[in-house]
Structure 1
Amino acid sequence: MQQIPQDPQEILEHVFGYTEFRGAQAEVIDTLMSDRDALVLMPTGGGKSLCYQIPALARPGCGVVISPLIALMQDQVEALQAAGVKAAFLNSSLPFDQVQNIEGALLRGELDLLYMAPERLLQPRSLDLLSRIQLSLFAIDEAHCVSQWGHDFRADYLQLNCLHEQFPTVPRIALTATADQRTRAEIAQRLDLQAAEHFVSSFDRPNIQYRIAQKDNPRRQLLQFLRAEQQGNAGVVYCLSRAKVESTAEWLRQQGFNALPYHAGLPAQVRAEHQRRFLREEGVIVVATIAFGMGIDKPDVRFVAHLDLPKSVEAYYQETGRAGRDGEASTALLLYGLEDVVKLGQMADSSDGSEEHKRQERARLNAMLGLCEITSCRRQSLLRYFGEELAEPCGNCDTCLEPPQTWDGTQAAAKLLSCVYRTGQRFGAAHVIDVLRGSENEKVRKFGHDRVTTYGIGKDLSANEWRGVVRQLVVRAYIEVEGEFQSLRLTEACRPLLRGEESIQLRKLPPKAKSSRAEGRKSAAPAELLPADEPLWDALRACRKQLADAQGVPPYVVFHDATLRGMVELKPQSREQLLAVSGVGDSKLERFGEAFLAVLRDYETVTSD
């Protein structure tokens, strides 16, 4: 194993294969090198890991990384070992003899980085072990887990302030991708990091295209998206319930996709196997509840699709952030409907939390609905939620690419509100719409609603259009949805509209898209590659897969897609030229260089004949 240099810039180049630091990385590293603490807020894919990995290698001793998930530890340790770093993890997945071997290596000073779950770190045995070695730093990853307002709260994180008490001279760094200003303050307070320097990077992920659409046969919408744009790509499909996860995964398999379910109700072995396949096989789609994904370090996820509404903007941002960690073009598709609004509202109201907690949950849901309903740039609205302003519309979200049309919905809204009132404010949307459209079904006749003045006054709009009106009036708080039967009730806010003192512009529903069976490229080659280079791209991916299988690691641990694309663009023919490709460091050049050079030389020979 090669000798690791001590200078951060040299470590960046020779260990990780990059020539320049990104964003605030250099400042964060300098802070830790100077024995100071840091609180780092950096988007997923922004290079958080290097902020603690490089100073842990440059400083004397072993760096300890507190991470909430076993899968994350394993991913990062495999990637570090492939780069020639002496890294290990301690968690419940290891047999006792392996734990002893790792602890022995730690005591002998043979490790550069050690990953641990907070539960293990806080055990007296672990703290005693750490007190007997030289420590370079503590890194607390996924630090938003400390926040009781957050979506991934972990009680063990609350005790991590003991690190400052027991190891006062060891610098600490807390890192997260999702935290608003209040959550950042809570992280600093609970982890005793009030004196830490704060580094808040832009939340913007310009490579992700955000698309949000109303549900209109969501399975057909998802299938069209996958067939037209994502054939052969890896992705995540999020659903709210376990049952929906299972049925959606089975349906996708029937459509010819390599789809696997993932939720907390599956046996642990099945979850682990599905996660392993997602990481190591090409083109796997995981259909999951939000139990999946936190800390998943797979860089080449090309899409994240939500078939149900996330409960908050923070959750939406974190879940969509699992796409495109490698900086390549990716898509976040969200399909939502009135039933999502109702279900999440009921979940918030029926939670065991305090009234303040319920109010906060409802406020978060309303912010998420606001993001769905806006007619302006999605990215500007998303960033504004996190306190960041984007000067110009992004040009890479659905509202920028195809600006939505609006229509004067004042009269339609008044009709609907009046019908809700005339039917007694105790029926759901479907029944009210039936009355408006003059349905002759048994339920309408049973309650005498074929005799109310609003019966049949809404025949000019389709049932789908009326559902759009209901949904937008709920979002704007003109109507509330209450009770077991999801009854529509009027609010005080609707009075000016009913009196004709106020008008309202509603978003037009997009026309129904035609079903498409378009096939994507079988190898999912980057769009910017020339057609003539696609055979080389496929050959490099095949070489990477073969090496990864032989090593028992995911393909991206060998090289990221961006590094393969660099090989396609530069077509290096020597070790020196290959080392110039971003992402190729000294260790990977030694281990994998000749195999890739053989592919590149063969291609050059064939194309020059």
Structure 2
Amino acid sequence: MPDASLHQLRQVFGFEAFRGEQAAIVAHVTAGNDALVLMPTGGGKSLCYQLPALLREGCGIVVSPLIALMQDQVEALRLLGVRAAFLNSTLDGATAASIEQELLAGELDLLYVAPERLLTPRFLSLLDRARIALFAIDEAHCVSQWGHDFRREYRELTVLHERWPDVPRIALTATADPPTQVEIAERLQLEEARRFVSSFDRPNIRYAVVQKDNAIRQLRDFLAGHAGEAGIVYCLSRRKVEKTAAALVDLGIDALPYHAGLDAETRATHQRRFLREDGVVIVATIAFGMGIDKPDVRFVAHLDLPKSLEGYYQETGRAGRDGEPADAWMCQGLGDVVLLRQMIEQSDSGEERKRLERRKLDALVAYCETMRCRRQVLLSSFGEDYPRPCGNCDNCLEPAETWDATVAAQKALSCVYRSGQRFGAAHVIDVLRGSDNERIRQFGHDRLSTHGIGSELDARAWRSVFRQLVASGLLEVDAEGYGSLRLTDASREVLTGGRQVMLRKEAPRRSGRERPSRGKPPVADLDPADQPLFDALRELRANLAREQNVPAYVIFHDTTLRGIAARKPENADELAHVDGIGSTKLERYGDLVLETVANTTQA
């Protein structure tokens, strides 16, 4: 079997060797065994079920939650010579019937289907009459009611084991903390399945968090280092999505909004443009992204706090799937914490759910405020011990200075108390800085002993103090009291002088479009001498993609083009040894690629 799997890997997918645990997973599932696979985005999860489906008799049934992305996945497989299809509501009756006949006739290797369709009596009956190689349950974290993408239909997928006990099942996800892993196994009846857990580390992604000051300006400065590159900007509200997209367009950036309030046709058009065109930036709520297969997303930016570290990890994981350097950048402030706490408290969820969401938000806030290596903190939330500082996050590259903020903390806590614990940070800061405005006079806060005692710090510095006091549990947000701040049990020790408070010193504002140095990139850059050939190959790829109406990366990934540019193959045999060039692509595109190489290198 190893020889057969390696042969298929080379012939179909164009790779010389497996990565990580792929070989073990493929062998395990091909032998007819169940598996639960936890592997980071870009780690090669799809191959873990696609290859066994080719090696086993019958058709692999892939349960995928996103109809919109099935088409691109199937097109990519067809270009590899794999007999793949999808069944969803976008197909007319005649096309769907034809695909069903192909399934029954044994003419399909892989069939993608949404859980809603799979669970219908008609489709289950269809599967009874077909030869099934395996069931692959993609985005398996959707089964967890405590997760961030819960899909009720996933709970009913136990029918696969009950109805076809001899057909192997493989459940896959890139995002599951230890409790979610346990729940996936229980809900899908995979307790006895072998569990394959790869490192969750994405070493090519650089993590950075900045204090929110002027979010649009800060985003503009960040994007200056990503001109002409594809990326995703996440915002919490639809209104902010629209406003941010419009601001980016005004800056000359090809930006498109995406949220659930747009009509289905507009959403589909914007997603298609993002997937198929170079350099498009999508500004979206979290309604966008799950299952996105675009390899060359160079950044994911958050203009608001996400809801949990689990969600943040999945959202940032959409960057750099090709293994090339990418940025995960977040702009956050105390107002985000207040808003998310209010959303939790005002939801219809039960108290158990609310407690869990509060804990997840607290963990995320701690990540934002940490002075440790961010990668260490992030991976620890998935139960993974990262042994040393990563050297590829803002805290490693530009370690934050700390300062003794004990007196400032005492002033802040005292002002919160003396103003009645009924006001948010903005008002308390005005009192501390001695502001004279109508609201302060209305409540008589100009007569408080704390009025003006904090004039040594500007408003930005005070916002940082309050944000860190909340993060460290010395203040809490009264989510039911319009986001007012109140003391905690831990506050007393600070106020009485029994506890020192050390806080992060915020970095000064960067002028213009100054950005920190990226340092040495984790992936080797293209040799400048190879750039003309790489550009010519990208142009060839773009033309082919337009002719075939598919995303450019479906033809070739950038990594494959980079390999061609570096090797400069002179014949088909040499070209066949470039990763990503399988037999079908060699036959289909080989002559055009070799012609491009010859013409460019001789020019």
Please give the range of the TM-score, normalised by the shorter of the 2 chains: over 0.9
Whole-Å separation in 2 of the counterparts to 1:572 and 1:164: 48
The one-character-per-residue Cα deviations of 1:331-385 (angstroms, maximum 9, x if unpaired) are 1001100110000011111111111110000000000001001101000111111
Corresponding position of 1:573: 570
Whole-Å separation in 2 of the counterparts to 1:102 and 1:20: 33
Contact 2:422–2:481 (8 Å) recurs in 1 = no
1:332-347 equivalences in 2 (<5 Å): 332-347=328-343
Once structures 1 and 2 are overlaid, which stretch shifts more, 568-577 or 442-451? 442-451
Q: CA deviation at 1:278?
A: 0.5
The one-character-per-residue Cα deviations of 1:542-579 (angstroms, maximum 9, x if unpaired) are 11000011111000000001001111111112111111
Corresponding position of 2:262: 266
- Residues 17 and 268 of structure 1: is their aligned pair in 2 closer, same or farther, counting only changes over 3 Å? same
Whole-Å separation in 2 of the counterparts to 1:284 and 1:47: 25
- The answer to whether the aligner puts 1:428 opposite 2:431 as a matched pair is no
SS, match of residue 349 in structure 1:
helix
Whole-Å separation in 1 of the counterparts to 2:56 and 2:482: 62
Q: Which amino acid aligns with 1:600?
A: V
Q: CA deviation at 1:527?
A: 7.2
Corresponding position of 1:325: 321
Q: Give the unaligned 5+ runs of structure 2.
A: 518-522
1:585 to 574, 582, 587: 582
Whole-Å separation in 2 of the counterparts to 1:490 and 1:342: 15
Contact 1:306–1:333 (8 Å) recurs in 2 = yes
Corresponding position of 1:38: 35
- The answer to whether the aligner puts 1:513 opposite 2:517 as a matched pair is no
Q: CA deviation at 1:72?
A: 2.6
Q: CA deviation at 1:6?
A: 8.9
Q: CA deviation at 1:486?
A: 1.9
Corresponding position of 1:185: 182
Once structures 1 and 2 are overlaid, which stretch shifts more, 68-77 or 251-260? 68-77
- Residues 517 and 456 of structure 1: is their aligned pair in 2 closer, same or farther, counting only changes over 3 Å? closer
Contact 1:71–1:295 (8 Å) recurs in 2 = no
Q: Which amino acid aligns with 1:136?
A: A
1:436-447 equivalences in 2 (<5 Å): 436-447=432-443
- The answer to whether the aligner puts 1:414 opposite 2:399 as a matched pair is no
Corresponding position of 1:523: none
TM-score, normalised with respect to structure 2: 0.97
SS, match of residue 13 in structure 2:
coil
Aligned residues: 595
Corresponding position of 1:457: 453
1:382 to 373, 378, 382: 378
- The answer to whether the aligner puts 1:349 opposite 2:354 as a matched pair is no
1:57 to 29, 54, 59: 54
- The answer to whether the aligner puts 1:161 opposite 2:151 as a matched pair is no
Contact 2:342–2:483 (8 Å) recurs in 1 = no
Q: CA deviation at 1:491?
A: 1.2
Q: Kindly, what percent of the aligned residue pairs are identical?
A: 61
1:81 to 73, 78, 82: 78
SS, match of residue 447 in structure 2:
coil
The one-character-per-residue Cα deviations of 1:222-247 (angstroms, maximum 9, x if unpaired) are 111111x2111100000000000011
Corresponding position of 2:520: none
Whole-Å separation in 1 of the counterparts to 2:3 and 2:204: 34
1:471 to 454, 458, 467: 467
The one-character-per-residue Cα deviations of 1:190-249 (angstroms, maximum 9, x if unpaired) are 11111110001100000100111111211111111111x211110000000000001111
Q: CA deviation at 1:185?
A: 1.2
1:108-257 equivalences in 2 (<5 Å): 108-227=105-224, 229-257=225-253
2:397 to 393, 398, 401: 401
Whole-Å separation in 2 of the counterparts to 1:264 and 1:527: 39
The one-character-per-residue Cα deviations of 1:246-305 (angstroms, maximum 9, x if unpaired) are 111111011001100000110000000001000100100000000000001111101000
Contact 1:6–1:58 (8 Å) recurs in 2 = no
Q: Give the unaligned 5+ runs of structure 1.
A: 521-525
Whole-Å separation in 2 of the counterparts to 1:444 and 1:576: 79
SS, match of residue 15 in structure 2:
coil
1:359 to 355, 361, 364: 355
Whole-Å separation in 2 of the counterparts to 1:344 and 1:233: 31
Whole-Å separation in 2 of the counterparts to 1:38 and 1:388: 20
Corresponding position of 1:597: 594
1:274-289 equivalences in 2 (<5 Å): 274-289=270-285
Q: Which amino acid aligns with 2:298?
A: R
Q: Which amino acid aligns with 2:343?
A: M
